[in-house]
Structure 1
Amino acid sequence: MHAAQREIRAAHTATTVTVYQAYSPEIGLPAAREGRFPAAWKRDRMTWIKPSFLWMMYRCGWAAKEGQQTVLAVEISREGFEWALRRACLSSYVPGVHTDQASWQRELRRSPTRVQWDPERDLRLRPLPYRSLQLGLTGEAARRYADEWTLTVRDVTPLAHEIHALVRAGDLDTARSLLPRERPYPAGDELLGALRP
C-alpha cells in the first residue's frame, strides 16, 4: 500500500487535533459539561482515540450501541498527539516492519501508545480502500490525555443523529456538508515512518 493509504486525516488547527470517543451518558455527559473527563473515567485503562468522525460512527453505530450513546469530540494539543505518535508501536506484529515477534512484543510492553490502521468508512459506513488511524493510550499516555492534553470536550451526539437521519433519508449531499472538515495531518516519516506497514 502507498503511504497515503495510511494517512492521518483529522480536523486540526496549528495547535490542536480533534479526536472522537463514545461513552455511556454517565461518562460522556459530565465530560462534555465540565470540559474534562470525570473521576469515573478510568485513567489506568487503555483508551482509543479516533481522528475520523465516520470511523467513530461505524464503531458506535451512530451513537446507538450500548455504552456508546454519547459521542465526544475531544480537542487535544498537537504537542500531546505527537508525543503519543513518537512513542507508539503497531498494535499487531507485521513481518518486515518488526525484526521478529519477540522484538515486537518487547516494543509493545515498553510503548504507552498503540497504532492501529482500520478501513476508513463512507457515509453508509461501508469500508473505503484507505485506512484511518486509531491511537490506543495506556498508562502515562492515558493520564496525560485526560489531564494535560485535553483542551475542550464537546458532545457531538446530536450531530451524529442529524447526519444519520439525512443518510437514512438518502440526502447524502446535505449529510456530507455537515461532516467535520478532516484533512491530512502533517505527520511525515519522523512521526509515522515505523507505523506504516
Structure 2
Amino acid sequence: MTRQIRATYDATTITVYQAYSPAVADAALAAGRFVTPFSFTRMTWIKPSLLWLMHRSNWARKPAQERILAVRITRAGWEQALAQAVLTAPESSVYGNAAAWNSAFERAAVHVQWDPERTLRGAPLNHYSIQVGVGRELIRTYVDEWIVGLADITPTVHRAAALIRAGHSAKAERLLPAERVYALNPALARRINADGPR
C-alpha cells in the first residue's frame, strides 16, 4: 500500500488533528495554546488525516477524546519533527537490521507510525496515513514555536457523524477539509519510509 502524507496545508502551515478531553481542550482554547492539564511529560500524537482520527476517536465519542482540535503548525516545525523521526517498526529498507532500529528508536525524539487510511465509515483504504508522536524533549517546542492556531472542530465532526448515520455520506464529506498529498524532499521521504506522488 502507498505511504503518502495527505493533509490540509498552505505555503507556510499544515493542519494536524488531536482528540482531547473537554478539560484539556477548553484550557487550550482559552489560552490559545496548550496549557495544563495538557501533559508536557509524555509523547503527544499529531495526525494530518482527520478521517483517521475520526476512526480512532469514534467521531469524538470515546472517553477523553470528545473534543477534536485542528492545530495549525508551521511547515518548518512539521518537517523538523519528521527529520528526527524513527519508525515504530524495524523497516529493513530504512535501518538495515532490527538492532540498528532498536538503538535509534530508544533515542528518538519523534516516532512515526503508518496505519491504513479510513473511509467515512471506518473501513480501511489501500493507502496508509501517518501519525507523528512528538516526544517530551520536543513538546515545549511544539507548543511554543510550531503552533500558530487552534480551532475546535467538534461541532463539525458531530454534524458529519449525524449525516453519515442518516445515510447522507456525500453531504458529510463536504463538511470535511480537503486533504492533498504533501510532497517531501527525498531525504525526509526515505527517513520515514514514504512513497513519492503517484
Give the TM-score, by structure 2 length.
0.94
Tell me what 1:170 maps to: 167
The correspondence for 1:77, drawn from 64, 74, 79, is 74
Q: In structure 2, what residue type is equivalent to 1:104?
A: W
For residues 114-169 of structure 1, give each alpha carbon's deviation from its aligned partner in whole angstroms, at most 9, with x where no partner exists: 11001001111111010000001102222211121111111111011000011111
Tell me what 2:115 maps to: 118
Gaps of 5+ in 1: none
Tell me the percent identity.
45
Q: Would you identify which runs of 4 or more consecutive aligned residues in structure 1 move more than 6 Å?
A: none
Instruction: Note if contact 1:22-1:71 (Cα within 8 Å) is conserved in structure 2.
Output: yes
CA distance in 2: counterparts of 1:35 and 1:7, whole angstroms? 30
For residues 35-69 of structure 1, give each alpha carbon's deviation from its aligned partner in whole angstroms, at most 9, with x where no partner exists: 20012211120111000000010111100000100
Tell me what 1:138 maps to: 135
> What is the aligned residue count?
194
1:106 aligns with 2:103: yes
Instruction: Note if contact 1:16-1:77 (Cα within 8 Å) is conserved in structure 2.
Output: yes
Aligned residue for 1:186, secondary structure, equals coil
Give the TM-score, by structure 1 length.
0.94
CA distance in 2: counterparts of 1:30 and 1:196, whole angstroms? 36
Tell me what 1:189 maps to: 186
The correspondence for 2:11, drawn from 7, 10, 14, is 14
Deviation, structure 1 residue 108 = 1.0
1:155 aligns with 2:152: yes
Deviation, structure 1 residue 193 = 1.0
Say what the alpha-carbon RMSD is for the aligned residues. 1.2
Aligned residue for 2:9, secondary structure, equals coil
